[in-house]
Chain A
């Protein structure tokens, strides 16, 4: 399915298929997906477990290459840009498993990501920006200087979100970002995503089972049996 867009897409998936090979069988999880993600839009991808949501997110975020088809960023193929460079300069990902650096504090996790991606705050230091983002996701100063392994699942998830927000990228991907959060905090995160999309012109793509999140997105994509269908939410 192709999304018809007036502005050039920030990210386009062209006839993307992906197949996993195991010893005894091959499983095609994505089939001929054509889709264009636009800047300034908040997307939610829904689908049952095993439908290929995480795979789609991995391919779109440059963590892996599709078995077939092409993915382009602002019209340039990702392989041409280089997957490492694409991930470093243009996308940030919030993982379902958080994937924090376990030998660091919450604050160090955020500043390290900023250093790696070269993100520089408009004003103030990286540390100040990191502290601000961590506070924004609901972590106090005492918490952010603790090793992440000493934090609860919800706190770790917030660190992961702050880390992604700190990277100042064009596209933000998130895999079940509110799964471990209470309703109020989850709503705060959703508001942040909406603000990123609508006020900062970012493209936010969230894989979720949460109807609360899906209903507040701009577009909902359904992934079923490897096929993608779109539903536009009326706002």
Chain B
């Protein structure tokens, strides 16, 4: 173990060179560690996003098929078919919904101050839902149930409603009160009991993207009860969209395949959207900074490694005489390489240790700043999308439905950088690999020579 002592003496005696090597290693370590940390943090955030979004499959109308087919009539699917899809083994929970125009009858009035109502005087949108707790807006926390209870599958054929807080306040309605709704045919009517009051944070002036109505006037009812008012309510319960919550995001593909097999042509006009768009929307900024960080890591790491390799190469060549002397004394070549490697390892260990103390904080600040900018830019782009005016499809008016933002899928603007032993091991491995390679190649070249050649060459 004599080489260990020599390594220590060499490092101590050559302080200038040791410090330069340490500084170079420190730069490499910080850059590589930052890259690894950002990569890990973004991967984790992406994974979380996929977990929150990816386990959900939405059955929605296929806008492209709708437009391409020339029909402006929204497709419907038999609720029994959706029930069969909901019974597939990959599905944990599911809900479906249909909507139609309904009219509030009697003394009750809709909330005003909003957009020109596309549903006509007294008209609004009644959405029949199997399980309101599974609606994306409730699951994301955008909507809050203030009083009462959600409508569940057990309430399917009941006549119950959830209404928005502002509509309830305007009309002095409370849970348990009854309201009368008239169907789109303006003849069919039924009394509904308020099962709950919820809060939608959107201002009354901001029209609902899908229906163009004042969001405070949206009604959610038991799907069976509301469908009884529907204008196409004959021939069994028909629904417009469904949401399936899967056991695991990994089974999306299997579920989609199975659903297409089970439902067959009933799915025409619909798409089973694995919410990839939501994931893309949420993780776009993450991917951007990850690629930037990875590029910076490779560039700086490679440049640093090149500088380090040159430094070590130079050092090894300057140590020819030392090698020659030690070999002349019969020191083993392996011990000489071990000494040189140990010197690099010691410097690398100090550099990695130092970098691990401040790189996480530095990386968090830098990554957060970058991600914040990316997320803001992404949000601006999403916010700039304009729905076509009520009564228009937007076709030929510059509206691209593919660019329509997915609700409740804000671009992720925060990541949590955390250093774990695996990150340190990765950086340590890369650092040691660079150091050992930079040592072994020139040292091997020198040590191939005889001690006499080493000692006399160039003299």
Q: With A63-B451, A102-B322, A103-B13 given, is the CB distance from A87 to B6 under 8 Å? A: no
Residues 303-336 of chain B, each 1 if its beta carbon lies under 8 Å from chain A, else 0: 0000000000000000001101111111111000
> When the two chains form their complex, are residues A103 and B9 in contact, meaning their CB atoms are under 8 A apart?
yes
Is A151 an interface residue, CB under 8 A from the partner?
no
Measured in the bound complex, the distance between the Cα atoms of B459 and A95 in whole Å is 14
> When the two chains form their complex, are residues A99 and B321 in contact, meaning their CB atoms are under 8 A apart?
yes
Task: Bin chain B's interface residue count.
Answer: 20 to 34
Is A140 an interface residue, CB under 8 A from the partner?
no
Nearest B residue to A163 by beta-carbon distance? Answer: B329
Is A183 an interface residue, CB under 8 A from the partner?
no
Nearest A residue to B459 by beta-carbon distance? Answer: A97
Q: With A63-B455, A64-B452, A64-B453 given, is the CB distance from A117 to B14 under 8 Å? A: no
State which residues 169-225 of A face B: CB under 8 Å. Answer: none
Task: Bin chain A's interface residue count.
Answer: 20 to 34
Is A108 an interface residue, CB under 8 A from the partner?
yes
Query: Chain A contacts of B332 at CB under 8 A?
Result: 84
- Say whether chain B's binding surface is mostly helix, strand, loop, or mixed: helix
State which residues 59-110 of A face B: CB under 8 Å. Answer: 61, 63-65, 83-89, 92-93, 95, 97, 99-104, 108
Measured in the bound complex, the distance between the Cα atoms of B326 and A167 in whole Å is 13
Q: With A63-B452, A95-B455, A115-B2 given, is the CB distance from A101 to B325 under 8 Å? A: yes
> When the two chains form their complex, are residues B9 and A93 in contact, meaning their CB atoms are under 8 A apart?
no
Is A4 an interface residue, CB under 8 A from the partner?
no
Measured in the bound complex, the distance between the Cα atoms of B325 and A147 in whole Å is 17
* Least CB distance, A149 to chain B, in whole angstroms: 9
Measured in the bound complex, the distance between the Cα atoms of B325 and A61 in whole Å is 13
Subset of 13 A-B contacts with CB under 8 Å? A63-B452, A84-B331, A84-B333, A87-B330, A93-B328, A95-B328, A99-B328, A101-B6, A112-B6, A113-B329, A116-B329, A147-B13, A167-B329
Given contacts A87-B329, A92-B329, A104-B13, 17 further A-B contacts (CB under 8 A): A61-B328, A63-B328, A63-B450, A64-B451, A65-B450, A84-B332, A85-B330, A87-B328, A99-B324, A100-B325, A101-B6, A101-B326, A103-B322, A104-B9, A116-B331, A117-B329, A147-B13
List chain A positions with a Cβ less than 8 A from chain B: 58, 61, 63-65, 83-89, 92-93, 95, 97, 99-104, 108, 112-113, 115-117, 147, 167
